[in-house]
Structure 1
């Protein structure tokens, strides 16, 4: 990837981040305006509750994107599994129609694997437009770190251009803020000597990754 493409990718990732933060930050702004005008104590209490919820959502998304997209300088080379798990659970707090199951047979993940896991989870959650089940797993098998995220539900919404980005077959000229994250983790996996794959069915989306153990995780 040349410098121009790197800049474009960074810009698209920023666009995705801004898009996802617009709603909770906008709710904060609107809530503060209402709070300044409202005199009824019960209504003020309701507004405060909404402000607290929006603040929590904004904080959770920022923490998620910091590790999923950024350098995550506050972490070492490896990240305890509790961190990505808590970040994914935070994304699901306002999605009561999605149940998550964990199969994490490891103690920690290298940063590249963490980014893959988090972005897989984001893609899978976005695909469950009518709710369903999210299964998240990671293990070491035959010298490789293997990550699998499965979304299953009554309707799976998945843009095939995201699949092409995961496979590395999407033309960089066709990259957008919607596909930038998938393209980024495909590059990460390739740099580590691994790869990504996906399979879509009518009622399920399966995302898989493998990386050399030294780049992926240690049990």
Structure 2
């Protein structure tokens, strides 16, 4: 699977717009309701909804800035606490997922953090009925090792995402929903690393090994 940088960037932008449409739309709807509402209790409720939508929008933008973007403002090593905060905020807005962390280092290379965030996003979206998310990462002997495990009552994993991760999907079939996985595949290949995934009735396991170059 090969795709141009321009095409991949376009698909990632489409994915970002799709994910931001709901919270931003909620802000617009809330403002329209507030303009016409005169009841104090209902106005209070409108303000609460606006605050919630604004927080979700900000959390998603911060997440995508590091997961999809160039992560300006960071050096080559990124504190793992930054990645943890972004994932915890995303999961906190979901409310049905418990996250367990096992991070062996205080900082990881930028490609490893980008990979961790995107694998976590794939895992979160697979837990349609909630569940447990286990995230582990370690920098050892010049290699970043990342494991993300999603376990729940129902695992909804799109096999096309798996094909994008392992490189078996033709570039012509890529779409906005599979673009992040394709980005990870190309990132891993550029570093001489590899990705892997396994799906069972009990869990989805995603992994990455990325040499530090």
CA distance in 1, matches of 2:143, 2:135: 17
Are 1:180 and 2:169 an aligned pair? no
| Residues 23-47 of structure 1, C-alpha deviations (whole Å, 9 max, x = no match) | 0000000000111110111110100
State yes or no: 1:69 paired with 2:68.
yes
Counterpart check, 1:144 vs 2:116? no
**SS in structure 2 opposite 1:93?**
helix
Return 62-71 or 73-82, whichever deviates more. Answer: 73-82
Deviations along 1:149-176, one digit per CA (max 9) or x if unpaired, are 0000111001111001111121101100
**How far has the Cα of 1:188 moved from its partner?**
0.6
Q: Give the corresponding residue for 1:205.
A: 204
Aligned partner of 2:189 in structure 1 is 190
> In structure 1, what is the Cα distance between the partners aligned to 2:143 and 2:13?
31
**Distance of 1:203 and 1:157 partners within structure 2:** 11
Q: Contact 2:115 / 2:184 at 8 angstroms: preserved in 1?
A: yes
Contact 2:191 2:210 in 1 (8 A): yes
Structure 1 unaligned segments of length 5 or more: list them.
Answer: none
CA contact (8 A) 2:108 2:144 kept: no
Alpha-carbon RMSD: 1.3
Q: How many residues align?
A: 213
> Paired residue for 1:17?
16
Looking at structure 2, the residues matched to 132 and 162 of structure 1 have their Cα atoms a distance apart, in angstroms, of: 20
Provide runs of 4+ in structure 1 moved above 4 Å. Answer: none
Q: 1: CA distance between counterparts of 2:197 and 2:19?
A: 24
Give 3-state SS (helix, strand or coil) of 2:175's partner.
coil
1:48 is the counterpart of 2:47: yes
CA distance, structure 2, for counterparts of residue 113 and residue 186 of structure 1: 12
TM-score, length-scaled by structure 2: 0.96
Structure 2: gaps of 5 or more residues = none
Q: How many Å separate the matches in 2 of 1:76 and 1:69?
A: 16
Offset at residue 140 of structure 1 (A)? 3.1
Rounded Cα–Cα distance in structure 2 between residues aligned with 1:6 and 1:95: 32
Q: CA deviation at 1:146?
A: 0.6
Q: Tell me what 1:89 maps to.
A: 88
